[in-house]
Amino acid sequence: MARRQIVLDTETTGIDPKQGHRIIEIGCVELMNRRLTGNNFHVYINPQRSIEEEAIDVHGITNEFLRDKPLFRDIAQEFFDYIKGAELVIHNAPFDIGHMDNEFALLNQGYQNTHSFCGVLDTLKMARDLHPGQKNNLDALCRRYDVDNTKRTLHGALLDSEILADVYLAMTGGQVKLNLNQNKDDSSEDQKGGIRRLNSDRAPLVVIAASEAEQSAHQSRLDIVQKEGGHCLWRAE
């Protein structure tokens, strides 16, 4: 069965939903079997309240910008249908899940808590387990896993989800991109696509030949293989 994951981020009017703070942006990126599908979800939301100045300094979203945006109730069912049954991948999941549960609860339409219809994977907890005692915010992880975040001058839900998707894939699957031309500037043509070539003036590879003793030991092992199986692939003509 295909594994569907939604990398999710939100921006809000402030920190604590218990103090009346609301979601103002949702950004989601879909992964199917660890591959980006392009089936993303992104919406700005009118929170029907003012945004704290400290929050505006973080994400740059203003009250004026949100005045003509839909209310959460207008997008709730579409959002629910999009994430239902998926595993949500979130950095500092309790924050976003807390706000999502609050928004659904305010509708008073019978929506359950997010954990009841989605799995949740917290990449902040994962990063702390992998790198204890180190900085594990998204910017720090981008540096650690060589993920480009140069466009991230302000927080934004969709951009942060796209960046987190790259970080998550790197954290859980090792290298996700092959760059054999790291000595060149990122703005060069080779970095923009096509074949990446190794520098012609690079140092030659060192070839270490097996010693006579090692060759003899190898032949002795092949004798055993040939004796037991009657055929030795490594000695085939």
Q: Is 185 annotated as a binding residue?
A: no
- Beta pairing, strands 41-44 & 119-122: unpaired
Q: Is 155 a catalytic residue?
A: yes
Q: Encode burial over 62-87: b for 16+ CB neighbours within 10 A, e otherwise.
A: eeeebeebeebeebbeebbebbeebe
Q: Is 9 annotated as a binding residue?
A: yes
Helix/strand/coil percent split, the chain, to 5: 45, 15, 45
What sign has the CA pseudo-torsion 227, 229, 230, 232? Answer: negative
Q: Is 160 annotated as a binding residue?
A: yes
Question: Which of 75, 124, 82 has its CA nearest to residue 104?
Answer: 75
**Residue 26, beta-bridge partner list:** 10, 43
HEC sequence for 74-102: HHHHHHHHHHCCCEEEECCHHHHHHHHHH
Q: Tell me how far the alpha carbon of residue 174 is from its chain's centroid.
A: 12
Q: Is the separation of the CB atoms in 104 and 76 below 8 Å?
A: yes
Q: Is 59 annotated as a binding residue?
A: yes
Q: Please give the structure tokens belonging to residue 234.
A: 């490594």
Side chain identity, residue 232? C
Question: Which of 24, 118, 108 has its CA nearest to residue 80?
Answer: 118
Catalytic residue among 42, 115, 131, 155: 155
Q: Is 21 annotated as a binding residue?
A: no
Binding residues for a divalent metal cation: 9, 11, 160
Q: Annotated catalytic sites, by residue? A: 155
> Which residues are part of a known binding site?
9, 11, 54, 59, 160
Q: Which residues are annotated as a binding site for substrate?
A: 9, 11, 54, 59, 160
